Amino acid sequence: MLAYVVIAPIPFVGSALVRSLYPYDTTQPPPPTRYQPPSWVFGFMWTLIYATFGIYMVRAQNEPARAALNALVALNLLANWSWTPLVFAHKRYTAGLVVILALVALLLAKITLTQDSSSRALLVPYIAWLSVASSLSGALLERS
């Protein structure tokens, strides 16, 4: 139970830190794309993703490949948190797309190494959202 209290909040804390350092500029947002869902979907999806990913992080501690999964999780969080400043603060759309593709590769590696099917299922919302994010990043790159 202690693991859920200590480990599961890590994605939320990191995300809050990144958002505080690199707030989304509502006065000059990137131009909308045809792939862009309504703004409320972003908050809903990231809450779902971070909640399920936090639970996955705790459950991964019971996996035989725990050390490799922990390394992949750390890389995943760093890559995920880097996307916001790259795209919104620095307008580096190519780098943003590369980060999205790296996130997909990291998630697929985690799915491959995770033996528990319920734990693998916790990553489905993240993979689904990354398909939307890759479309958005590609559209932003195309427009730049």
Q: Which of 44, 46, 61, 38 is nearest to 15 (CA)?
A: 46
Task: Report how far residue 23's alpha carbon sits from residue 68's, in angstroms, rounded to the nearest whole number.
Answer: 32
Domain boundaries, the chain: 2-16+43-143
Task: Report how far residue 109's alpha carbon sits from residue 106's, in angstroms, rounded to the nearest whole number.
Answer: 5
Instruction: Supply the pLDDT for residue 123.
Output: 96
Per-residue tens of pLDDT for the chain, all 144 residues: 555 555 656 666 655 655 555 555 544 555 566 667 777 787 788 888 988 988 998 899 999 999 999 999 989 988 988 888 888 778 888 999 999 999 999 999 999 999 999 999 999 999 999 988 888 888 878 877
Long-range contacts of 20-25 (CB under 8 A, 24+ apart): 21/85, 22/84, 22/85, 22/88, 22/89, 24/84, 24/88, 25/88
Instruction: For the beta carbon of residue 126, count every other beta carbon within 10 angstroms.
Output: 24
Measured at the CA of 33, the angle between CA 41 and CA 139, to 5 degrees, comes to 115
Backbone torsions φ then ψ of 31, nearest 5 degrees? -60, 140
Evaluate whether 76 touches 106 at the Cβ level (below 8 Å). yes
Specify the DSSP class assigned to residue 88: I
